[in-house]
């Protein structure tokens, strides 16, 4: 099983935004990516990180993942423990659910920002934003 760590960041909320994700296997980084997405909110950046990571996993024919984010809100919305009220987030949530159906096994959980791999994803986001 591949573990995917994601992070989204926004300076201004909304403001300049970026996301990053990291694929790990047995505690080692095997792939990473970061992208500038223009003006967005932090929650949009978090969702975009998850969507992009899941698309990349499917492109790599990975069908068993554990996705970890530091966003309690977004993970709780994806898992259905929080309602998704905002229309723009409902659309992103629906996209995640459509992607979720393409995996043999998938689990969504959250971890604190102090997690080593979440910290790496956060640094990648900030590096991208520093260059924007």
- The pLDDT assigned to 132 comes to 87
The per-residue b/e assignment along 53-88, b for 16 or more CB within 10 angstroms, e otherwise, is bbeebeeeebeebebbbbbeebbebbeeeeebeeee
C-alpha 118/C-alpha 116 separation (Å) is 6
Per-residue model confidence as pLDDT tens digits over 44-73? 999 999 999 999 999 999 999 999 999 999
Q: Where are the domains of the chain?
A: 2-131
CATH of span 2-131: 3.30.420.10
Per-residue model confidence as pLDDT tens digits over 72-92? 999 999 999 999 999 999 999
Signed CA dihedral, 42, 45, 51, 57: sign only: negative
Number of H helices, E strands in the chain: 4, 5
pTM of the model: 0.97
């Amino acid at each position: 099983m591949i573990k995917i760590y994601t992070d989204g960041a926004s300076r201004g909320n909304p403001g300049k935004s970026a996301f990053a994700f990291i694929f790990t296997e047995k505690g080692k980084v095997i792939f990473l990516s970061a992208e500038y997405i223009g003006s967005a909110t932090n929650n949009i950046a978090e969702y975009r990180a998850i969507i992009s990571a899941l698309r990349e996993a499917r492109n790599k024919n990975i069908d068993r993942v554990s996705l970890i984010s530091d966003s309690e809100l977004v993970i709780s919305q994806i898992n259905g423990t929080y309602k998704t009220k905002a229309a723009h987030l409902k659309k992103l949530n629906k996209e995640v659910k459509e992607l979720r159906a393409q995996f043999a096994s998938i689990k969504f959980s959250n971890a604190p920002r102090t997690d080593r791999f979440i910290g790496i994803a956060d640094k990648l986001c900030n590096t991208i934003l520093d260059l924007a």
